[in-house]
Amino acid sequence: MKSNTFKGYFFALVATLAFSNVYIFSKAALNEIPLAQFGSLWYLVVALSCFVFALFNKKLKQVAHLSRKQVVTLLTLGLLEIATTTLFFLSIHIIPDPSVTSFLGNLYPVMVMLGGIFILHERFGPIEIMGGFLALAGAFVISYSGGTTLETIFIKGTGVVFFNAIFATITTLVVKAHVQKLSPELLNLNRSVWLLTFSVIMFFVMGESTVFSATAVKNTLIGAVLEFTAILTVYYSFRYIEASRSSIVQSTKGVFVLLGAFLFFGTLPLRHQLIGGFITVLGVLIMALAQAGVFRRRQKA
């Protein structure tokens, strides 16, 4: 049991570090090439990595034994991932500092909590709700631009992050419900194939160039391998520990992105965005600790 818990936290940590760097390398690549061109190369690498890994682990045999319900699940996840991932990279492209995008991404666990309350009729305690309010308040502080109208009150890209959080929440609920029956390798391969297909279609529809600069290729290749690693290890962490415990580790992602953005691009968020970012991290951390039962155990002690 302790061994499984250690594995779960280890996979969650690897996922956090890998995904933090996805923000950095995707931003670097998107600074040079359009989204459709970027997506075609990025998901070619991810799909090949997923296929080779699934083949090596002999997980491709599952494809021949999929039930009709599982095929429908994979189809649903593919469509959800297209929406989620497109919005994710679009937000990275729009918002200048990737650490701001990452901090705003802490809307996602709040959405998961709200989805649990209103869709799954789950019950959350006052500490979790307080953490959710903190995360929302921090996101508002980050996104506030000083305007007075609905069009100018938030920084550009805030709406994209908001809708990304909604689709990511739905995707997570579906994945969590089926991760025990569908292997992480198959889920990751399914995701990458759908995203590659969509990217290639958009590449030809938009008539993008087939010319890639050396630095764009390098950043895309590194980032794609990191995404493959991040998604796979998140799925594995769900197998060994509860999603709430995995999110405790993942809640620190914004700090790693902040450090990476400063080292790679020499950028830092504005003071109020930095304060808001740490408020969102604190809020998500409180939510995750409460869901993991840390505060309940302290009360009993």
Residue 14: how many other CB atoms lie within 10 Å: 18
The pLDDT, as a whole number, for residue 241 is: 79
* Single pTM value for the model: 0.86
The pLDDT, as a whole number, for residue 146 is: 76
The pLDDT, as a whole number, for residue 122 is: 66
Tokens matching residue 214:
């050396």
Between helix 243-250 and helix 214-240 the angle, nearest 10°, is 140
Which ranges of the chain have pLDDT less than 70?
1-2, 116-122, 150, 176-180, 243-244, 296-301
Domain that holds residue 165: 2-300
Backbone phi, psi, residue 7, to 5°: -60, -45
- What is the distance between the alpha carbons of residues 131 and 282, in angstroms, rounded to a whole number? 7
Number of independent structural domains in the chain: 1
* Longest Cα separation, the chain: 64
